[in-house]
């Protein structure tokens, strides 16, 4: 019997998070459950919007490369993954089929 392949993680916006777009260059995310705020730039806002209906890491990296100039080929996946991990820890995002992570723990972005 073959091994089951691991399904890609699907990242979803927390529906309780309030977003305030400051301008086309960024936005503020507010999580009322944790009282945390994240300031996101244009790239972060782009990734956030991809998570509205759910997206996986590879689709997000591909979307970045299609939309933005000079996306670093080798570093992009790790940088996007670190950004998503920060939003997960802050309760701004969730993962399809995953339990909700503990709230209130502050994680510094790399």
**Exposed e or buried b for every residue in 23-36, given b needs 16+ CB within 10 A?**
eeeebebebeebeb
pLDDT digits (tens, 9 = 90+) for 55-92: 999 999 999 999 999 898 899 999 999 999 999 999 99
Please classify residue 80 by burial: count the beta carbons closer than 10 Å to its beta carbon, then call 0-12 exposed, 13-18 middle and 19+ buried: buried
Name the more confident of 33 and 100.
33
CATH architecture of 11-92: Alpha-Beta Complex (3.90)
How do the domains of the chain map onto residue ranges? 11-92
Whether the pLDDT of residue 94 is over 60: the answer is yes
Residue pair 36/91 in contact (Cβ under 8 Å)? The answer is yes
Residue 110 has pLDDT above 50, yes or no: no
pLDDT for 25: 85
Residue whose structure tokens are 């927390």: 14
Q: What is the pLDDT of residues 4-45, one digit of tens each?
A: 556 789 999 999 999 999 887 899 999 999 999 999 999 999
């Amino acid at each position: 019997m073959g091994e089951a392949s691991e399904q890609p993680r699907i990242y979803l916006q927390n529906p309780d998070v309030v977003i305030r777009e400051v301008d086309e260059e960024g936005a503020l995310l507010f999580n009322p459950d944790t009282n945390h705020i994240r300031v996101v730039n244009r790239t972060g806002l782009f990734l956030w919007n991809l998570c509205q209906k759910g997206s996986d890491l590879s689709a997000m990296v591909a979307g970045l490369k299609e939309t933005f100039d000079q996306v670093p080929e080798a570093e992009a996946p790790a940088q996007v993954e670190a950004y998503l991990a920060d939003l997960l820890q802050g309760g701004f995002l969730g993962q399809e089929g995953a339990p909700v992570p503990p709230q209130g723990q502050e994680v510094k972005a790399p």
